[in-house]
Amino acid sequence: MPKQAVSTAIWWIRRDLRLHDNPALQAALRVARTIIPLFILDEAILTHSHERCNAFLFENLRELDIALRERGSRLFIRRGAPLDCLQSIFHESKAQAIFAQQDFSPYAHTRDKAVAAMLPFTLTPGVTIQPPLSIRKKDGNPYTIFTPYARAWREQLPALHLLDAPTHLETPPILFSEPVPSAQPSQLFPAGEQVALQRLHTFLAKQAWDYQHDRDMPGQDSTSLLSPYFHFGVLSSRLAFQQAQTQAQSNKEAAGFHSWINELVWREFYTMILENFPHVVQGAFREQFSRIEWENNEHHFLAWQKGSTGYPLVDAGMRQLQETGWMHNRTRMIVASFLCKDLLINWQWGETFFYENLIDRDLASNNGGWQWSAGTGTDAAPYFRVFNPVTQSKRFDQQGTYIHQWLPELDNIPDKYLHTPWQMPLDVQQDCGCIIGKHYPNPLINHSLARQLALKTYRKVKA
């Protein structure tokens, strides 16, 4: 960080699209009088992400610009390679320092190293609540199991001093900026930090109380729906944690709050894993699982993607993803288990598909979740843990609320066949206007046989 005050600093915005509790912005404000809020449209990232995800980003940029203008400032947008853009705006504006929030991915590290080599560049924490490398075992090695990690995480948690949004920002009047790209606003995820803060507030006042139980019910409105906001830093995870923690400490019935906080810690855990073991991006965390003999049947993969596997809860999950860019966590686990175990398709195919379709496309969490499901990862479920899509369906979507929400072709089938439509006698199929094999597919595979095959295939590579 520059020791003495400078006149102008660039606040390079990446995954911190907010004014509240923003360490990078505050670091810039501590040394500089004039701030240039800059976002760079990096084609290397944009071309690999779904239009819907980019739309969420663009809408949030628009909201950030509005919030900045209310404070006498504005957002500047450039398009191109980050280093090129930074060098030009740095010289055009005669800025003397650049501040950004540190990001954790192989791409981000390469990018940021190149910038630091050429320009006065300072990174601040802020993506996670605690810096990923700050939590280690006594022997200095990183944790690889969640539970002891979470214990250490809680024990060494420092006091969090949240940072207020600035009330006024001074910004140079004349500097080139591209317009904020226009985009289709999302119904499910309206943009802006005020929406995110309000959503957090509502969640903590209502659903969080029963979160421990209700979060497993994909048909209920029981989760916070905050993941896209966390991913782009529209909402500060430190602030969210602190508010949940305050509620947990001031209420006797705090299980729901602790359970939600635990999900925040999972996010920290997988960011830490990615940081310490970047090879997880390439393949299995544990070497022997790169040798699984997958079937990789393209036809099965397509059916999975479209949501036509014949297992209603799996298909409902995939339709929710296709239609909204988001999927409930319970169904994420179920469709992932189905892809890896029932279809014996390489989990990386699923990882890529999720990464391309989720608005909350977080590299670390997505990779961690898939490795967990596939049983190839750090804290993975044992390989023999295979979800039964029918059991899961009956347990977590008993009334079929979620199935009905996403599979209109099953609208009229009798409740007793909702989880197993293929068991409908032909006359019932005709009565309810849902012919299996015509209006809704036959199951792609027989779960019980598929399970046997998965166990056999996994057993071959187990340590």
Binding positions for FAD are: 211, 223-227, 260, 263-270, 360-362
By CB under 7 A, the residues from 123 to 152 that bind DNA are 146
CB–CB of 25/42 below 8 Å? Answer: no
The active-site residue out of 11, 12, 266, 304 is 266
State the nearest-atom distance from the C-beta of 202 to DNA, in Å: 23
Q: Which residues are annotated as a binding site?
A: 211, 223-227, 260, 263-270, 360-362
By CB under 7 A, the residues from 192 to 221 that bind DNA are 216
Q: Does 402 bind DNA (CB under 7 A)?
A: no
Alpha carbons 104 and 232: distance in angstroms, whole number: 13
> CB 236: neighbour CB atoms within 10 A?
27
Q: 276 an active-site residue?
A: no
Element (H, E) at 270: helix 255-276
Within 8 A by CB and 6+ apart from 336, the residues are 347, 350, 369, 370, 373, 374
Cβ burial, residue 54 (10 Å; 0-12/13-18/19+): middle
State which of residues 179, 382, 408, 425 lies at the interface with DNA (CB under 7 A).
382
Cβ burial, residue 369 (10 Å; 0-12/13-18/19+): buried
By CB under 7 A, the residues from 244 to 283 that bind DNA are 263, 266
State the nearest-atom distance from the C-beta of 392 to DNA, in Å: 4
State the nearest-atom distance from the C-beta of 391 to DNA, in Å: 4
Element (H, E) at 9: strand 6-13
Q: 92 an active-site residue?
A: no
**Whose CA is closest to 337, among 308, 366, 370?**
370
Q: Does 386 bind DNA (CB under 7 A)?
A: yes
Only one of the segments 57-65, 156-164, 405-413, 445-453 lies at the binding site for DNA (rule: CB under 7 A); that segment is 445-453
Alpha carbons 184 and 460: distance in angstroms, whole number: 48
State the nearest-atom distance from the C-beta of 450 to DNA, in Å: 10
Helix (H, G, I), strand (E, B) or coil at 39: strand
**Edge-to-edge order in the sheet of strand 6-13:** 76-79, 32-41, 6-13, 97-101, 121-124
Q: Does 384 bind DNA (CB under 7 A)?
A: yes
Q: 326 an active-site residue?
A: no
By CB under 7 A, the residues from 329 to 358 that bind DNA are 329-330, 333
Per-residue tokens: 93: 């504006």
Only one of the segments 195-203, 221-229, 286-294, 388-396 lies at the binding site for DNA (rule: CB under 7 A); that segment is 388-396
Only one of the segments 6-14, 19-27, 233-241, 446-454 lies at the binding site for DNA (rule: CB under 7 A); that segment is 446-454
State the nearest-atom distance from the C-beta of 364 to DNA, in Å: 14
Element (H, E) at 51: helix 51-69
Query: Considering beta carbons, is residue 71 or 395 the nearer one to DNA?
Result: 395
Alpha carbons 413 and 432: distance in angstroms, whole number: 6
State the nearest-atom distance from the C-beta of 457 to DNA, in Å: 11
State which of residues 111, 231, 419, 447 lies at the interface with DNA (CB under 7 A).
447
Rounded alpha-carbon distances, angstroms, from residue 373 to 223, 279, 333, 377, 432: 20, 18, 6, 8, 36
The active-site residue out of 294, 295, 297, 409 is 294
Query: Considering beta carbons, is residue 455 or 461 the nearer one to DNA?
Result: 455
Only one of the segments 65-73, 170-178, 379-387, 413-421 lies at the binding site for DNA (rule: CB under 7 A); that segment is 379-387
* Count of residues of this chain found to bind DNA when the rule CB under 7 A is applied: 22
Q: 11 an active-site residue?
A: no
**Whose CA is closest to 446, among 423, 463, 412?**
423
Phi, then psi, of 200 in degrees rounded to 5: -60, -45
State the nearest-atom distance from the C-beta of 384 to DNA, in Å: 4
State which of residues 83, 281, 381, 432 lies at the interface with DNA (CB under 7 A).
381
How many residues does this entry show for the chain? 463
| Residues binding DNA (CB under 7 A) | 146, 216, 263, 266, 329-330, 333, 381-382, 384-388, 391-392, 395, 447-448, 451, 455, 459
Q: What are the catalytic residues? A: 263, 266, 294, 329, 347, 370
